[in-house]
């Protein structure tokens, strides 16, 4: 099956700095890559996603890049704010059936 690895496990940045979280996947059939944000005690919420036919996608301060050849994708958050502090998960899926999640990155944005 698919194996998704996520790095780093924790990330601490100063408010206003950028944050980058990286994931790799093993199954070349994976074609959908969502990113979720989970605040403490809350449910995961989708923040951005990308399909395999696209190399980059942006939504305001958040962007995701995908390198199919190298089988890795990354989440970029610019101008970080304290409210960005949370755990972020990447995931990979083939045709929206099985989803495989990374182990999560705890982002701490220091004011």
Partner 1 sequence: NAGVTQTPKFRVLKTGQSMTLLCAQDMNHEYMYWYRQDPGMGLRLIHYSVGEGTTAKGEVPDGYNVSRLKKQNFLLGLESAAPSQTSVYFCASSYGLAGGSETQYFGPGTRLLVL
Which residues contact partner 1 by CB under 8 A? 1, 6, 9, 32, 34, 42-46, 49, 89, 91, 93, 95-104
Q: Residue ranges of the alpha helices (H) in 1-109?
A: none
Closest approach of partner 1 to the CB of residue 96, in Å:
5
Q: Which C-beta is closer to partner 1: that of 40 or that of 70? A: 40
Residue 78 sits at φ, ψ, to 5 deg, of -100, 160
Q: Which C-beta is closer to partner 1: that of 51 or that of 61? A: 51
56-59 and 72-77 strand pairing:
unpaired
Give the whole-angstrom CA distance, residue 9 versus residue 36: 15
Closest approach of partner 1 to the CB of residue 111, in Å:
27
Give the whole-angstrom CA distance, residue 59 versus residue 57: 7
Q: Which C-beta is closer to partner 1: that of 78 or that of 106? A: 106
Closest approach of partner 1 to the CB of residue 30, in Å:
12
């Amino acid at each position: 099956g698919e194996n998704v690895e996520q790095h780093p496990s924790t990330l601490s940045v100063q408010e206003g700095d950028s944050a980058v979280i990286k994931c790799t996947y093993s199954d070349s059939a994976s074609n959908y890559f969502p990113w979720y944000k989970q605040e403490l005690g809350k449910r995961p919420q989708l923040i951005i996603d990308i399909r395999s036919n696209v190399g980059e996608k942006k939504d305001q301060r958040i962007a995701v890049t995908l390198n199919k050849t190298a089988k890795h994708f990354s989440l970029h958050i610019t101008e970080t704010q304290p409210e960005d502090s949370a755990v972020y998960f990447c995931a990979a899926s083939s045709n929206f059936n099985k989803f495989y999640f990374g182990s999560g990155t705890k982002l701490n944005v220091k004011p």
